[in-house]
Chains A and B, each alone.
Chain A
Amino acid sequence: MPRQLHLSAAIDAAADAATDSPRHLDPGHYAALARLAERAGLDFVTLDDSFTAEPSRPDALATLARIAPLTSRIGLVPTVTTTHTEPFHTSISLNTLDWVSGGRAGWLVGVSTTEAEAKAFGRRPVAPEDELWAEAADAAEVAARLWDSWEDDAEIRDTATGRFIDRDKLHYIDFEGRHFSVRGPSITPRPPQGRPVVAVPVAAGDLARDASPGGRARVATAIRYADVVLLDAPDRAARLTAATELRLRSGEHLRILARLDSALPDRAAEQRLLAELTATGTGVDGFHLVPAEPERDLAALAERIAPALRDAGLLRTGYPGRTLRDHLGLPRPASRYAGAGNATATATATATATATARPTTATALAEVTR
Chain B
Amino acid sequence: MTDRPLKQVHLAAHFPGVNNTTVWSDPASGSHIEFDSFRHLAQTAERGKFDFFFLAEGLRLRETKGRIHDLDVVGRPESITVLNALAAVTERIGLAATVNATFNEPYELARRFASLDHLSGGRAAWNVVTSSDAFTGENFRRGGYLDRADRYTRAAESVQLAREFWDAGEEPVRHRGPQFEVEGRLSLPRPPQGHPVVIQAGDSAEGREFAAATADVVFSRHSDFAAGRAFHADVKGRLAGYGRKPDELKIMPAATFVLGDTDADAAERAAEVRRAQVSPQTAIAFLEQVWGVDLADHDPDGPLPVVDPDPDSALVQGRVRIPDPVGTAERWRALAAEKGLSSRELVIEVTGRQSFIGSPATVAERIDHFVQQDAADGFILVPHLTPGGLDEFVDRVVPLLQERGVFRADYTGPTLRDHLGLPLPERR
A: which residues have CB within 8 A of B? 25, 27, 31, 51-59, 61-63, 65-70, 84-89, 92-93, 95-97, 99-102, 116-117, 119-123, 150, 155, 157, 159, 161-167, 170, 179-185, 187-189, 343-344
Q: Are A86 and B68 in contact (CB under 8 A)?
A: no
Taking a contact as CB atoms under 8 Å apart, the answer to whether B24 and A63 are in contact is no
Q: Which residues of A are found within 8 Å of B188, using beta-carbon distances?
A: 25, 56-58
Asked whether, in the complex, the Cβ of A189 is within 8 Å of the Cβ of B33, the reply is yes
- B20-51 vs A, CB cutoff 8 Å, 1 = contact: the mask equals 00001100000001110001000000000000
Docked pose: A334 CA to B107 CA in angstroms? 36
Chain B residues within 8 Å of chain A by Cβ, number: 63
B183 A63 Cβ-Cβ under 8 A? no
CB–CB A88/B70 < 8 A: no
Asked whether any CB of chain A lies closer than 8 Å to the CB of B170, the reply is yes
Report how far A56 CA is from B140 CA in the complex, Å. Answer: 29
Residues of A within 8 A of B60 (CB): 183, 187
| Minimum C-beta distance from A61 to chain B (A) | 7
Selected from A69, A89, A122, the residue in CB contact (under 8 A) with B35 is A69
Q: A57-B187, A96-B77 are known; give 15 further A-B pairs, CB within 8 A.
A: A25-B119, A27-B87, A59-B115, A61-B81, A62-B84, A68-B88, A95-B77, A99-B35, A121-B108, A163-B71, A165-B68, A183-B60, A185-B61, A189-B33, A343-B68
- Return A195 CB to nearest CB of chain B, in Å: 16
Which one, B279-287, B328-336, B400-408, is touching chain A?
B279-287
Across-interface contacts of A161 in B (CB, < 8 A): 281
**Most chain B C-beta atoms within 10 Å of own C-beta, residue among A87, A96, A117, A121:** A96
Contacts of B182 in A (CB 8 A): 119-122
> Among the listed A55, A70, A88, A157, which residue makes an inter-chain contact with B140, where contact means beta carbons less than 8 Å apart?
A88
List B contacts of A93 (CB < 8 A): 78, 80-81
Quick one: closest B residue to A119, CB to CB? B183
Chain A residues within 8 Å of B114, by CB: 58
In the bound complex, residues from chain B placing their C-beta under 8 Å from that of A121 are 105, 107-108, 182, 184
Q: Does B139 contact A (CB under 8 A)?
A: yes
Q: Which chain B residue shows the least CB distance to A185?
A: B61
| CB neighbours of A102 from chain B (8 A) | 35
List, in ascending order, chain A residues with CB within 8 A of B115's CB.
58-59, 62-63
Interface residues of B in 42-81 (CB under 8 A from A): 58-61, 66-68, 70-78, 80-81
Q: In the complex, A202 Cα to B181 Cα: how many Å?
A: 34
Docked CA distance A59–B298 (Å):
52
A58 contacts B61, C-beta separation under 8 Å: no
Expressed in whole angstroms, the Cα–Cα distance for A63 and B88 within the complex equals 10
A87 touches B35 (CB 8 A): no
Tell me, in angstroms, the Cα distance from A246 to B75 when the chains sit together.
38
Is B118 an interface position by the 8 A CB rule? yes
- 5 residue pairs bridging A and B, Cβ less than 8 Å apart: A25-B188, A52-B187, A58-B119, A93-B78, A162-B281
Residue of A120, A182, A343 with highest tally of chain B CB at under 10 A: A120
- Choose from A25, A117, A122 the contact partner of B118 (Cβ within 8 Å): A25
| CA A51 to CA B106, docked complex, whole Å | 12
Q: Would B71 and A188 count as touching, CB distance under 8 A? A: no
Docked complex Cα distance between A278 and B242 (Å) = 68
A120 B107 Cβ-Cβ under 8 A: yes
Using known A-B contacts A69-B88, A100-B35, A184-B139, determine if residue A164 contacts B73 with beta carbons closer than 8 Å.
yes
Q: Judging by beta carbons under 8 Å apart, are B81 and A62 in contact?
A: yes
Residues from chain A with a CB closer than 8 A to the CB of B58 are 187
Asked if A183 contacts B186 (CB within 8 A), the reply is no
Q: How far is the CA of A155 from the CA of B74 in the complex (A)?
A: 8
CA gap between A271 and B195 in the complex, in Å: 49
Given known contacts A58-B119, A99-B34, A187-B58, A88 and B139 CB-to-CB distance under 8 angstroms: yes
Proximity string of chain B (361-372) to chain A, C-beta cutoff 8 Å, 1 when within and 0 when not: 000000000000
- Across the interface, which residues of A come within 8 angstroms of B139, CB to CB? 88, 182-184
Given contacts A58-B118, A163-B70, A167-B70, contact A120 B183 (CB under 8 A): yes
Q: Whole-angstrom distance between the alpha carbons of A228 and B186 in the complex?
A: 30
Which residues of chain B are near A87, meaning CB under 8 Å?
A: 141
Chain B residue contacts of A344, Cβ below 8 A: 66-67
Q: How many Å lie between the Cα of A262 and that of B128 in the bound state?
A: 44
Whether B78 lies near A51 (C-beta < 8 A) is no
B76-117 at interface with A (beta carbon < 8 Å): 76-78, 80-82, 84-85, 87-89, 103-105, 107-108, 111-112, 114-116
A67 to B120, CA, bound (A): 11
Chain B positions within 8 Å of A27 at CB level: 87-88, 119
